[in-house]
A and B are shown apart, each in its own frame.
Chain A
């Protein structure tokens, strides 16, 4: 039972957006303008324009879900990362 509760708690935290998040979701959906996303294409390979468009579109879709979920959503396979490394002497 405890395991089930933990599982539900986990779900509610990770998957179900809070009311606050829902409000945020509406706002973000309105504000999110995919055409403002600027892409850096792989300059060293000759991908077709169609391939680039498809890849960029998919990336934008993932990004949209990720931002609307407050920068956390395991299903998007996106991960917020901070590049902190040791200081090299």
Chain B
């Protein structure tokens, strides 16, 4: 149901439909000095994009983004659907990069669930109980620790994480980002510098660039036809 290539295709689809996400006048310097308020401007547009997709099939659809000030450190966010309401809960006590990651990841969950449902496939997880639900989330952590992801192990949450990473490391700037990562490997920069410039959690960035999936993903965006469309 969820394969690795689909994450790239959906990310590519999103990148072509809302190119303004990546359209910054000061690029590629934006990767070094991102204005503070940039963080949520792109998500705001992504949120609108998801809402438009939902409205096409359900005119009453509504996305609620909720801050939970009592959230414990162990939970970054949550997502659930109730009728026409699509609820994303964020832990506001986390730093900007984690909040941004959580919001994009949950919007990706929303978008992919909708994407599959539109094609007649029910993809929402129906967990038997909390235990199973959380085991799945813990499992998610184990999956992201792996260098080589197997399609058969890909659950909807892991898929959403991959898609979120595709969005957070913009295809258009992939080459430039890889240049920064090379500088990390040669000791000129730290991964934290790169993560901060991309406004994403260092932990997630480190895990994703170590994956075989990321290398394949970069090759996908280097394809001449794909590159032409993205760089328009």
Contacts and interface: CB of A to CB of B under 8 A. Distances in A.
**Bound together:** yes
Contact of A41 (B40, B75, B109): B75
A32 B37 contact: no
A69 to B, nearest CB: 12
B140 interface: yes
A34 B132 CA distance: 12
Interface in B58-116: 64-83, 85, 87, 89-90, 94, 98, 102-103, 105-106, 109
Contacts of B137: 38-41, 52
Contacts of A35: 126-130, 132-133
A36 B124 contact: yes
Given A43-B144, A63-B87, A84-B44, A49 B65 contact: no
Interface residues on B, range: 35 or more
A31 B82 CA distance: 7
B74 A41 contact: yes
A52 B68 contact: no
B131 interface: yes
Listed from nearest, the 9 A-B pairs whose CB atoms lie closest are A55-B72, A47-B74, A44-B203, A37-B80, A83-B40, A40-B77, A77-B69, A77-B70, A35-B127
Interface of B: 24-25, 35, 37-41, 43-44, 47, 64-83, 85, 87, 89-90, 94, 98, 102-103, 105-106, 109, 124-135, 137-138, 140-141, 144, 156-157, 201, 203-204
Interface of A: 28, 31-32, 34-45, 47, 49, 51-60, 62-63, 66-67, 71, 76-89
